[in-house]
Structure 1
Amino acid sequence: MGTVTIGIVDDHPLLAEGIAAVLSRSPHLRVVSSGNTAADIVEIANRHQPDIVLADLNMPGDAFEAIETVKMQAPATRVIVFTASTSSDHAVRALAAGASGFVLKGSQVGELIEAIEAVRRGEVFITPYFAAKVINALQAKEAEKQAAQQLKLSIREEQIVRLLLCGKPNREIAAALALSEKTVKSYMSNLMAKLHARNRLEVVIAAQKLMPQPPAVRQDR
């Protein structure tokens, strides 16, 4: 592997200097810049175009937004989050934003170098003893996403629910939408099953949480 250029962003100068000193002992690693705010993550990526940016999360600015910006503006630069945070939510957010690694500050130097090498190869690296927690969080988030997609109402289902809100019976709903009563009853059965509702009222209550609400009308005096 050739020389890997690295940027370090951490709001603790002594820690950043220490990391730079340790990494510089490896002949194939070269620190090219450092910073101490989330904005510096983007600045370093755009100006110096390092292979890797090591970035903390707990510093001035929005680190997650900065990671996402680097992903869009400087895709050749990979971000490894190097943090003391053991929050799986933080890890999931960072990875979703575009980070290629999540390494805890309690890790050994060898693990940090291993992370740099893995990410340079195009892999994703997570501190091993923390990985299972992050994977479980990712799986839970994906399950929530799939459940939300399954509960999404179709345009026709939204039309029926809006008419239900007006107190319309199946016969009037059928007439308003140019459907047969049998078809409306079928939609109602599907809505009750999808929303785990026992009656029409529960359908309306559950559906209102999923349907986009119209903007409020401003009343000028």
Structure 2
Amino acid sequence: MKKTKIILADDHPIVLMGVCELIERDERYEVVGQALTSSDLIEQVQRLKPDIIVTDYNMPGDETYGDGVKLIEYLIRNYPQVQILVLTMLTNNLILSRLYDLGVGGIILKSGDLNEILLALNALSSGAKWHNKAGQGSASVIERSDAVQTRIASLSVKEFEVLRHFASGMNVRDIAHLLNRSVKTVSSQKITAMRKLDVENDHALLTFCISMNLI
């Protein structure tokens, strides 16, 4: 029986080991590569030609491939024959919907039951999409008021990307360099996001992002 070839990507070795062990319980699948960075992932995809990529959404990126939406867009554009299953802690419906719009095969929330990975792989292997609660408007584990939900939903995908990198400790110039945008553009997107979220300074913005589990 020909096995489905899978490459895993996550910047946490323990997560990689756990997901690998889970997948290889099923004899239909073979994990042919494991990557800790975006560059490592792309190199392995080019060399090993997998059927499916199981990748974290947030990984240490680089100037060429980045992570998040930028990395997913690159993979789908350059390797359209490869199915992509995204692992993420994000529960922002805007980002999750955007990933499905880009063409990912499925999304698995790390905060949920990772055994869903095998169900998702079964769907992807048969040419179907995997839609669970992650793709159907799941709510954050932190309860949010309707007003706060409305503010978060008003963020654009690009504004959300800027906030995510800001909350990880990057400044505007570094974010601009990473996302290949001008400093002026990134600064404007950050200010617009702050206005939408009704926060007045960087400290308040960081506190909001962390408390609302946006990062």
TM-score by length of 1: 0.55
Of 121, 125, 136, which aligns to 1:132? 136
Provide the C-alpha distance between the structure 1 equivalents of 2:109 and 2:24, rounded to a whole number of angstroms. Answer: 20
State the aligned residue count: 136
CA RMSD between the two structures: 2.5
User: Does the aligned pair in 2 maintain the 1:33–1:44 contact within 8 Å?
Assistant: yes
The alpha carbon displacement at 1:2 in A equals 4.2
SS at match of 1:103: strand
TM-score by length of 2: 0.57
Is structure 2 residue 47 aligned with structure 1 residue 47? yes
User: Paired residue for 2:88?
Assistant: 83
The alpha carbon displacement at 1:56 in A equals 0.7
The alpha carbon displacement at 1:43 in A equals 2.4
Work out the percentage of aligned pairs sharing the same amino acid: 28
Provide the C-alpha distance between the structure 1 equivalents of 2:24 and 2:38, rounded to a whole number of angstroms. Answer: 23
Alignment deviations for residues 30-85 of structure 1 (CA, whole Å, 9 cap, x no partner)? 10001122233322322211111111111112232222222222222111101121
> If you compute each CA radius of gyration, which structure gives the higher value, 1 or 2?
1
User: Paired residue for 1:34?
Assistant: 34
User: Paired residue for 1:63?
Assistant: 68
Provide the C-alpha distance between the structure 1 equivalents of 2:49 and 2:56, rounded to a whole number of angstroms. Answer: 18
User: Does the aligned pair in 2 maintain the 1:57–1:81 contact within 8 Å?
Assistant: yes
User: Paired residue for 2:116?
Assistant: 111
Provide the C-alpha distance between the structure 1 equivalents of 2:46 and 2:81, rounded to a whole number of angstroms. Answer: 10
SS at match of 2:43: helix
Relative distance call for 1:64 and 1:43 in structure 2 (3 A) is farther
SS at match of 1:8: strand
1:163-178 matches, cutoff 5 A: none
1:141-220 matches, cutoff 5 A: none
The alpha carbon displacement at 1:107 in A equals 3.2
User: Does the aligned pair in 2 maintain the 1:81–1:99 contact within 8 Å?
Assistant: yes
User: Does the aligned pair in 2 maintain the 1:84–1:105 contact within 8 Å?
Assistant: yes
User: Paired residue for 2:127?
Assistant: 122
Q: One-letter code of the match for 1:13?
A: P
Relative distance call for 1:106 and 1:96 in structure 2 (3 A) is same
Structure 1: any 5+ residue segments left out of the alignment? Answer: 135-140, 142-221
User: Paired residue for 1:15?
Assistant: 15
Q: One-letter code of the match for 1:21?
A: E
Moved more, 25-34 or 107-116: 107-116
Alignment deviations for residues 142-198 of structure 1 (CA, whole Å, 9 cap, x no partner)? xxxxxxxxxxxxxxxxxxxxxxxxxxxxxxxxxxxxxxxxxxxxxxxxxxxxxxxxx
Relative distance call for 1:38 and 1:63 in structure 2 (3 A) is farther
User: Does the aligned pair in 2 maintain the 1:7–1:54 contact within 8 Å?
Assistant: yes
SS at match of 2:87: strand
User: Paired residue for 2:102?
Assistant: 97
SS at match of 1:133: coil
